[in-house]
A and B are shown apart, each in its own frame.
Chain A
Amino acid sequence: MAINPMEQFAVKPIVPLHIGHYDVSFTNQSLWMCIVVGAVSLFMALAVRQRSVVPGRVQSMAEISYEFVATMIGTAAGEDGLVFFPFVFTLFMFVLFSNFLGLLPGAYTVTSQICVTFGLAAFVIAMVIVTGFIKHGIGFLKLFVPHAPWYILWLLVPIEFISFATRPISLSVRLFANMLAGHTLLKVFASFVILLGGAGGVLSLLSVAPFFLIVAITALELLVAALQAYVFAILTCIYLNEALHLHGHH
């Protein structure tokens, strides 16, 4: 195949860098993480510049995202979950901007790397565990014991434990796979456009079809980008709720 759709996910060093015997080179992916973080910071800086009572467009967008995340935490994790607001807000904005900026042609999608999504998910779960033990002490382990008759608990407890243990995997793979699949699809159809276009004759005219498909898929990917950021954030809230209130009564 002339065009490898996986090539877009390759991590290429820009500035080689080593700490100890670890290779922490500044790569194209690091660059895009910086761009994402820079874009969010710029967006926020513009939004809070005026702080008017009647907000402008940028301020309004920032306030909507702020209230969106605050409401999400409030409903999913309760009022005491709001201490995690800066963290969940950071996660949401980072994932949202990564997903959106990744859709720009030539851009690198940070969240299409399992390493990144797993890193985020593992941090979320670690925080859930730490919060749970701080809040409930050893009683946090009751999370694995649902309200059920004792004779089925021997079956339910392992199930609960496995479902908890697989959370970082499901949380990270969901985001990673969605981003990866979407961008692979875009690249495959984009290569069709080029291959057909270069084939000459009637086939060149046919290249219009995959082009329109790309437009349609891009629209769909915009939805997926926002949706996956939301899913990642709301699941974080739900997991935090369990850490705070064990069996979900807040």
Chain B
Amino acid sequence: MTAEAAATTAGTEQPSGAGFPPFKTESFPSQIFWLVVTMTFLFVVLWRYAGPRIRATLTERRALVQQELAAAQENRRKAEQATVAYETPLFEARERAKRLNTQVREQAAEEARKAEAEAEASAERATREAEERLARVRSEAKTHIANAARDAAMEIVERLTGERISEAEAAAAVRSLQGA
């Protein structure tokens, strides 16, 4: 502390403090008196007047900021809620649409399968019927041919020999020729 040293040196140089005003003791009562007066005044001003007012302002501001923050928080919460409220039906609708889509596709596939099976079955039936008819026609044709051959045989025999043979004999003869 050089300044302190300087102060003390200055004090010791003039033992009575004659040349160094801060050490002139004769002014001390006045200094202390006015210090007490002014400090007391300032203390009262700051303690009773300024202090409480500044504190009130600060408290008010803090409360206001707190309040605004709480309001903002509340608004945020509401907005989030609204978003949820908006998105939930949207999501549900999308889900339902998806479900319907699958359902319809499955249904269509099922119907297609059924139609295919039916078509196949009817085609098969038609084929079978056609084949049966063909067989029937073929056998009828065979019978007709056999009958025609029999009649022809009877006619031929009658013309050649003048004899009439019975139908059964002619048929047997035709059958025996057919078998050969």
List of B residues within 8 angstroms of A104 by Cβ: none
Q: Are B22 and A180 in contact (CB under 8 A)?
A: yes
Query: Are A22 and B38 in contact (CB-based, < 8 A)?
Result: no
* Interface residues on chain B, number (Cβ under 8 Å): 44
In the complex, what residue of chain A is closest to B48 when comparing beta carbons? A86
Are A116 and B43 in contact, CB atoms less than 8 angstroms apart?
no
Q: What residues of chain B lie closer than 8 Å to A30, measured between beta carbons?
A: 30-31, 34, 38
B7 and A180 contact, CB distance less than 8 A: yes
Asked whether B54 lies within 8 Å of A62 as measured between CB atoms, the reply is yes
Q: Would you call A48 and B3 a contact (CB within 8 A)?
A: no
Contact B42 A24 (CB under 8 A): no
User: Which of B57-65, B73-81, B129-137 touches A?
Assistant: B57-65
Residues of chain A lying within 8 A (CB to CB) of residue B58? 63, 66-67
Interface of chain A, main secondary structure: helix
A93 within 8 A of B: yes
Q: Which of A17, A23, A26 has the most CB of B within 10 A?
A: A23
Contact digits for B134-157, partner A, Cβ 8 Å, 1 yes 0 no:
000000000000000000000000
| Residue of B7, B27, B32, B60 with most partner-chain A CB within 10 A | B27
Interface residues of A in 155-202 (CB under 8 A from B): 173-174, 176-178, 180-181
Contact residues in B for A47 (Cβ distance below 8 Å): 50, 54
State which residues 66-104 of A face B: CB under 8 Å.
66-67, 85-87, 89-90, 93-94
Tell me if B55 counts as interface (CB < 8 A to partner A).
Answer: yes
> How large, as a class, is the contact surface on chain A?
35 or more
Distance of B36 from chain A, by nearest CB (Å): 8
Residues A44 and B21 in contact, CB atoms below 8 Å apart: no
Within 8 A of B (CB), among A24-79: 24-27, 29-30, 33-34, 36-37, 40-41, 44-45, 47-48, 51, 53, 55, 59, 62-63, 66-67
Q: DSSP class of B's interface residues: helix, strand, loop or mixed?
A: helix
Complex contacts, A173 vs chain B, CB 8 Å = 1, 4, 7
Task: For the complex, give the distance between the alpha carbons of A45 and B49 in Å.
Answer: 8
Decide: A23 and B7 in contact? CB cutoff 8 A.
no
Q: Which of B6, B38, B49, B60 has the most C-beta atoms of chain A within 10 angstroms of its own C-beta? A: B38
Cβ contacts under 8 Å, B26 to chain A: 23
- Residues of B at the A interface (CB closer than 8 Å) are 1-4, 6-7, 10, 19-24, 26-36, 38-39, 41-43, 45-47, 49-51, 53-58, 60-61, 64
A interface residue numbers (CB < 8 A to B): 6-7, 9-11, 13, 17, 19, 22-27, 29-30, 33-34, 36-37, 40-41, 44-45, 47-48, 51, 53, 55, 59, 62-63, 66-67, 85-87, 89-90, 93-94, 112-116, 119-120, 173-174, 176-178, 180-181
